[in-house]
Structure formats: structure tokens, C-alpha cells
Structure 1
Amino acid sequence: MNENAQNAVSKYSKRNLLSGLLFGIGFAAFIDEVVFHQILRWHHFYDKSTTEIGLISDGLFHAFSWFATIGGLFLFADLRRRNGLWLQKWWGGVFLGTGFFQLYDGTIQHKLMRVHQIRYVENIFIYDVIWNLIAILLLLIGFMLIVRARKGEVGFK
């Protein structure tokens, strides 16, 4: 790899990862909010108060998801414009961000802070197991993509 390519790798590698992470976190939050809060109505972002407060918290959560997603896409567009987009690294970041959000939600928000649960049923255990196993799978895919990008040929697209 020539010196210019090496400089591009070091210059844009972290930015590709950050763009993917932001997009992945925002995307996961968006899907969580739309599917579990709005469509299935299993919970609100904050369930320790009235329904009205729960809806307000959902709105703020939805805004956060859009800010993260759009921020990630702005970085993505900048990487493309600079010819520094490294798709495999970016997708690794997307999976890491999605998995991180899911695991954070399932462990910190659901169990530690108890701001809400996945679903309010008698036996929540199976929901927790599936939620967190999906998070771990997403994280593993993300790590695998990033390791493969690091080991493989650098290919900015």
C-alpha cells in the first residue's frame, strides 16, 4: 500500500466507524421507537409516570434517533465526497452501533434503571434473553466486519 493510501486509511478509518456507529444507534433507536412504542405499544421510553409523560419521552427519544441517524448520514456523505468511504468498516460500525444500542437498552434501561421493560407480561425472561442475544449477535457481526476490513485490502469506494 502506498503512502497516500496509508494516510487515507488512518485519516478516514475512524470517521467511517463513527459515521456507522451514529447511523446504527439512530437506526436501532428509530426501529425500537416505531415498532415497540408506537405499533405494538408495549412500552414508552419512560414508563414510571403518566401516559402523557410517556408520550413526551417517546417524542424526545424519537428526536434523538433522528439526530443520530442524520448525523451519521452527514458524515457518510462527507466521506463519499472526499472519496474516503470504506463500506466494510462503515457497515461494521452500523452493526456495532445497533448492537450497542440494543444491549444498552436491554441491560441499562430495562434492568438497571428500570425506566421501562420490553413488555409488561408475567414472564419477561424470554423477552430479555431474545433481546440481548440479538444485541450480542449484532455486536459480533460488527466486530467481524471491522476485523475483516482491517485485515483485508483497503478499498475506498
Structure 2
Amino acid sequence: MKSIEHQNRNGSKSGPVTAAATLIGVGMGGFVDGILLHQILQWHNMLSAKLPPDTLLNAKTNMFWDGMFHAFVWIVAMSGIMMLWNAMKDPATNMSNKLFSGGLVLGWGLFNIVEGILDHHLLVLHNVREVSENPSSWNFGFLGLSVVMLVIGWQLIKSGRK
């Protein structure tokens, strides 16, 4: 995957670190969602709006698709780590902490936006919190928090490019 190059006034490249950190952020956001919301809090599973985990078969089916989800976000995170490893070999790469942390937050926000729109609103595979009097408020709150993450991530990236 070729990253968009952005050179600072001093000639350093910010694109490789930003792209790598964004991918790692997407993966880490997926892990937080899967580990915290699926496993620890047990608010939802991948398919819990379609197959409530109220029978052993439904619970096993949900567990399988949760595992497929974790495998996907692992591949995304590993791709970002490999991109970061390669970026570190170029002495012109801007290794700013703000670029890296901004990319992580931006990636996590991107994960939440895509996952929230697709899984919660379009496909209705699950809600952020299935057992709730108003699941829509949780779903829209999740998107609102995600927009805040996008803004914070973008601001950190902009300040890291200076």
C-alpha cells in the first residue's frame, strides 16, 4: 500500500508514519470494541441483533463471527506495524509522536465510524448495547464520540507535520 507523501518544510516525510499509525489505530479500535464491548462487558456480539445469543447454537455462531472480526482487525493492525517498520528505515521519515498518536486516534475514529454506520445502522447486525431501553441513543452516541476522535486525531496530525 503506497501512502500519500507529505513533506514538511524541513524535508521530512509525514505520510508513511501517518498511514501506518492510522492502520494500527483501526486495528486497535477493533480490538477495544471486540475485547471490551463483546467479551468483557458483553453488550453485543457481531450478529446479536440478528441472532440473539439466547441458545447455544446462536452463541456459538456469534462467537465464530466475533473471532472472524478479531482475525480481520489483527491483519489490519499487523499491516500497519509492517508499514511503520518500513517507514522507520527512511531517515527522511518524520517520527513525530504527534503524528503517530494522531494517526492512532484518527484510525480508531475511522474504525468506529465505518463499523457504526455499517453494523449499527445499515446492516443492523448489532447495537452498541443490545439490552437497553433506547439502543439508538447508544448507536448515535458511539458515532458522536467517533467524530470527536476524528477531529482530535486530525489536529494532532496537523501539529505533528509542523
Q: What per-residue deviation string (whole Å, max 9, x for no partner) do you get for residues 114-152 of structure 1?
A: 0111112221233123312210111001111122233x2
TM-score by length of 1: 0.82
Pair 1:81 & 2:62 matched: no
The one-letter amino acid paired with 1:40 is: L
Pair 1:128 & 2:139 matched: yes
The one-letter amino acid paired with 2:137 is: I
Shift >3 Å, 4+ stretches: none
The one-letter amino acid paired with 1:112 is: L
Aligned-partner Cα distance in 1 for 2:145–2:137: 12
Residue 35 of structure 1: CA displacement? 0.6
Q: What secondary structure does 1:118 align onto?
A: coil
Is the 2:127–2:138 Cα contact (8 Å) retained in structure 1? no
Higher helix share: 1
Q: What per-residue deviation string (whole Å, max 9, x for no partner) do you get for residues 67-126 of structure 1?
A: 111221222222223332343222222111100111222222101110111112221233
1:91 maps to which residue? 101
2:19 maps to which residue? 18
Pair 1:103 & 2:113 matched: yes
1:115 maps to which residue? 125
Which stretches in structure 2 are left out of the alignment for 5+ residues?
1-9, 52-57
Which stretches in structure 1 are left out of the alignment for 5+ residues?
153-157
% identity of equivalent residues: 28
What is the aligned-residue RMSD (CA, Å)? 2.1
**Bigger mean CA offset, 102-111 vs 135-144:** 102-111
TM-score by length of 2: 0.80
The one-letter amino acid paired with 1:94 is: L
Q: What secondary structure does 1:122 align onto?
A: coil
Q: What secondary structure does 1:145 align onto?
A: helix
**Bigger mean CA offset, 74-83 vs 132-141:** 74-83
Change (3 A) 1:116 1:125: closer
Q: What per-residue deviation string (whole Å, max 9, x for no partner) do you get for residues 17-67 of structure 1?
A: 210111000000001000111111111112323222211100011111211
